[in-house]
Amino acid sequence: MTTQSQREHFWDALRAFLMLLGIPYHVALSYQPGQDFIVHSGEGVRGFSELAEGLHLFRMPAFFVVAGYFAMLLLARREPMAWLRGRFVRLGLPFLTCIVTLVPAMNLVCELSNLPAQEALRSWRENSLTSGGYWVRHLWFIVVLLYLSSATALLARRVPRLRSGFLPHAIDSWAARHFVLTLGGLGLLVGLWEAFALEAFYRIGLATMVPQQILRLDETIIYLPWFTLGCVLGRARSFRERTMRVSLPVVLVAIAGTALWLAVHKEVTPMTERFIGTIAALATTLVLIAVARTLLDRPIVLVRRLTDASFVIYLFHLPLIALFVWLAQPLPVPPLAKAMAIMALSFGASYAIWLGIGRMRAMSLLFEGLTVPRRAPLAT
């Protein structure tokens, strides 16, 4: 078991980094040439479509790998149902708070960026009453994370050895010794799952408001294998240690796979696109883990602050981006300058909001799910 003195700081840092990447990702979506995001900028920046696509390819797969690893780490310390209750407070309460405060306000701003005031208000009211996805927006990952956390806790309760057991040594050591071969097999399995399972979801007609927009079952299908991979890393000591060392073949696969996906993903069938994307995302995720271990596996005050702030920053960043993009519409400034300024402003304002929330116990509970003062050490 990892004690506080043995804490692997880089996992926290990597999770925060992946959440903070939401800022450039959503700004890039807002200023992609010839395409509209939920907020209308009316202009574009060359290369931003590719930037958004490249970030989207690996960001959430890597996030769910880290989430699965943390699930196994914390289940080794806590009783499953107690841990799950903590998850619902830590994630569920901010989710509910945001869908009745931040998300409606953001949606209204987005409508105002597209339509005159009266039409915008009418569209906002209509969509609020009829569109499930309109309420969830960028918070969908919380829904999926609570599904996966619930399933993991129930399984750990039913099979207690999952909380502290490890993969058989023979399997673990073989996977570590044959690292590239193991990754090839994992990539094949996950790639086939992404290619066929999601296609089945669409073909049987589940891409409708309740299963897709509200329950987010398609996203659950997509990220289940990534979360599972993170759980396996938490129970495979030798293989995990091997993933934490930079591998040149994996780096090359990450670069080549991403380049190939960016080149062909709009030209090939959806199943082929998902398969290629999975291979690229898996390799990139492992590169990120290895780089984070190399650079960030020590206490760094600034990194710790950003780690603590990252969840609130994520909650607030998209509403702020939408607001700034709307306000920037009439400004006679090059779109690239607008985009860079909005990235900085969204980060700075979100961080300032986090600081303010920490001063009010009720706000900290509502937006962070914290039931104790923030200064106390928390395993999240």
CB atoms within 10 A of CB 267: 8
pLDDT for 374: 64
Which residues contact residue 359 at a Cβ distance below 8 angstroms, ignoring those fewer than 6 apart?
none
Determine the pLDDT at residue 376: 43
Residue 2's region, left for phi above 0, alpha for psi from -120 to 50, else beta, is: beta
For residues 235 and 70, give the distance between their C-alpha atoms in angstroms, rounded to a whole number.
11
Per residue, what are the HEC states of 96-134?
HHHHHCHHHHHHHHHHHHHCCHHHHHHHHHHHHHHCCHH
CA dist 142 and 308 (Å) reads 17
Residue 272, number of CB atoms within 10 A of its CB: 14
From the centroid of its chain, how far is CA 137? 13
48, 56, 110, 163, 350 from 344: Cα distances, Å: 16, 20, 20, 41, 10
pLDDT average per 10 residues of sequence, the chain (380 residues): 62 97 98 94 96 97 98 95 97 97 98 97 95 92 98 95 90 94 93 90 85 90 97 95 94 97 94 94 97 94 95 98 98 97 98 96 95 55
- CA dist list (Å): 71 to 78, 170, 273, 293, 345: 10, 24, 30, 19, 33
30, 52 contact by CB (below 8 A):
no
* CA nearest neighbour of 298 among 3, 1, 2, 13: 13
77-95 pLDDT, tens digit each: 999 999 999 999 999 999 9
Can you give the residue ranges of every domain in the chain? 4-368
The conformation of residue 46, written as its DSSP 8-state character, comes to T
* Residue the block writes with tokens 């005031």: 117
Model confidence pLDDT, tens digit, residues 249-294: 999 999 999 999 999 999 999 899 999 999 999 999 999 999 999 9
In this predicted structure, what is the pLDDT of residue 304?
A: 94
